């Protein structure tokens, strides 16, 4: 039987790297769309570069998307590419809209132009619930976006639903709550904290500056969440699913656990810096993933304390390795 083929946009990102690993292990021929950059940015997929194929392209350039689909002939397309940092969406609202919102339509149109019948996954976000209208949040909870990023994601969500209903496309929207890992981008709060803990532990810095410690998130492990993406595209009918752990924790709690994992007292090091407070905040997110559990048979495996420990231990090791490469001596056990 011919290998199944998948095209992943955003393959160089956190989720793209875990999804590529998952699909390679399942025997897929994996293609990844990569945009042109002035320096190499394939660190997260370095270990599987010989098992996947990269295709140049950009969500802002529709012809490149058509070519990528024609070249990869995918059975499944996972649209993970986006300007994904909420904080930057206030300083780059137009680019965020171009990529995170209109980029979805470009890709859906490219599928139609290329005459592909690939199944489509759209990376929607719990940020769309924003100023939450009910707690916990599930597929029926009304949306109230609170940032240019969330507004863009809401457009991407509805255009996916619309193309499913208009053209009968097999298109799913996964409404994923925050998911983290040692591969998380450094500007997101969890990784900023685990990296900060590691630097403090090794004596490279003596404080960590953060914004709102009271905001609460439903944090899971990215490796568990890419399984849910794949499961969504294996069902008889396309649908939308909320994916979360059903637990919520504050940034303060994350700090307590993360510093604790390195034997440090967070209150001695964390300083509040208004530069990191957002113009409009999402105070609390808590996912109800009952539908995913019942229909997809999905549930998270990694717990919150395990996630925090995994990230801190990884960064402690990473910072030590970096110090050694620069001739500095890291702290030993
Ligand atoms: P990420 O690490 O920031 O990765 C984003 C990816 O998109 C990168 O590969 C990036 O390429 C690519 N990209 C950005 N602009 C592009 C463009 N114009 N054309 C082509 N590629 C472009 O994000 P992530 O955490 O893996 O998240 C994956 C997706 O899920 C995103 O759409 C995000 O908004 C969504 N999401 C994430 C979470 C979460 O908690 N992680 C929750 C809900 C939804 P470069 O490497 O070149 O920058
Ligand atoms: O880690 P964050 O930047 O993630 P945020 O805004 O929740 O967005 C992430 O999850 C979404 C899913 O809900 C994704 F769609 C999105 O792409 C992204 O992956 O911030 C989390 C919370 C916020 O309330 C923020 O105000 O942490 C608070 N925070 C406090 N101090 C901080 C900081 N966030 C960052 N990035 N940096 C700080 O210093």
Question: Quick one: pLDDT band at residue 2, thresholds 50, 70, 90?
Answer: confident
From start to end of 57-141, where are the E strands? 76-79, 119-125
For 93-147, the pLDDT digits (tens) are: 999 999 999 999 999 999 999 999 999 999 999 999 999 999 999 999 999 999 9
At residue 333, does pLDDT exceed 70? no
Q: Provide mean pLDDT across the span 143-165.
A: 98
> How remote is the CA of residue 14 from the centroid of ligand 1, in Å?
7
| Ligand 2 contacts CB of residue 192 (under 6 A) | yes
> How remote is the CA of residue 79 from the centroid of ligand 1, in Å?
9
Q: Yes or no: say if 275 and 212 are a contact pair by the CB < 8 Å rule.
A: no
At residue 171, does pLDDT exceed 90? yes
Distance between CA atoms of residues 301 and 61, nearest Å: 38
Active site residue 125: yes
From the number of C-beta atoms within 10 Å of its C-beta (0-12, 13-18, 19+), residue 281 rates as middle
The per-residue pLDDT of the chain, averaged, comes to 98
pTM of the model: 0.98
At residue 271, does pLDDT exceed 80? yes
Provide the percentage of residues in the chain whose pLDDT is more than 90.
Answer: 99
At residue 65, does pLDDT exceed 70? yes
Question: Quick one: pLDDT band at residue 179, thresholds 50, 70, 90?
Answer: very high
Question: Quick one: pLDDT band at residue 1, thresholds 50, 70, 90?
Answer: confident
Lookup result for tokens 């004596």? 203
For 203-241, the pLDDT digits (tens) are: 999 999 999 999 999 999 999 999 999 999 999 999 999
Ligand 1 probe mutation, 81, 122, 186, 189, most atoms within 8 A of CB:
81
């Amino acid at each position: 039987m011919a290998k199944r083929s998948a095209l992943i946009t955003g393959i160089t990102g956190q989720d793209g790297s875990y999804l590529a690993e998952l699909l390679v292990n399942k025997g897929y021929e994996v293609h990844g769309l990569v945009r042109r950059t002035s320096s190499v940015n394939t660190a997260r997929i370095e270990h599987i570069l010989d098992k996947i194929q990269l295709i140049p392209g950009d969500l802002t350039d529709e012809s490149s998307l058509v070519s990528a689909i024609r070249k990869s002939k995918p059975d499944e397309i996972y649209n993970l590419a986006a300007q994904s940092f909420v904080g930057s969406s206030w300083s780059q609202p137009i680019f965020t809209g171009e990529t995170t919102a209109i980029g979805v339509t470009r890709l859906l149109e490219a599928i139609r132009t290329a005459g592909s019948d690939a199944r489509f996954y759209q990376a929607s976000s719990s940020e769309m619930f924003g100023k939450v209208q009910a707690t916990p949040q599930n597929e029926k909870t009304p949306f109230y976006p609170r940032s240019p990023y969330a507004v863009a994601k809401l457009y991407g969500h509805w255009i996916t639903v619309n193309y499913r209903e208009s053209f009968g496309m097999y298109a799913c929207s996964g409404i994923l709550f925050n998911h983290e890992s040692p591969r998380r981008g450094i500007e997101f709060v969890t990784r900023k904290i685990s990296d900060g803990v590691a630097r403090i532990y090794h004596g490279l810095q003596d404080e960590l500056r953060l914004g709102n410690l009271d905001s609460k998130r439903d944090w899971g492990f990215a490796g568990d969440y890419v399984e849910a993406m794949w499961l969504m595209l294996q069902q008889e009918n396309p649908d939308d699913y909320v994916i979360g752990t059903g637990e919520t924790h504050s940034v303060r709690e994350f700090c307590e656990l993360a510093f604790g994992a390195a034997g440090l007292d967070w209150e001695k090091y964390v300083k509040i810096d208004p530069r990191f407070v957002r113009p409009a905040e999402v105070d609390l997110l808590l996912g109800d993933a009952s539908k995913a559990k019942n229909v997809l048979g999905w549930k998270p495996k990694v717990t919150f304390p395990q996630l925090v420990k995994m990230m801190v231990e990884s960064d402690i090791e990473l910072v030590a390795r970096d110090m050694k490469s620069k001739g500095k001596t890291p702290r030993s056990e």
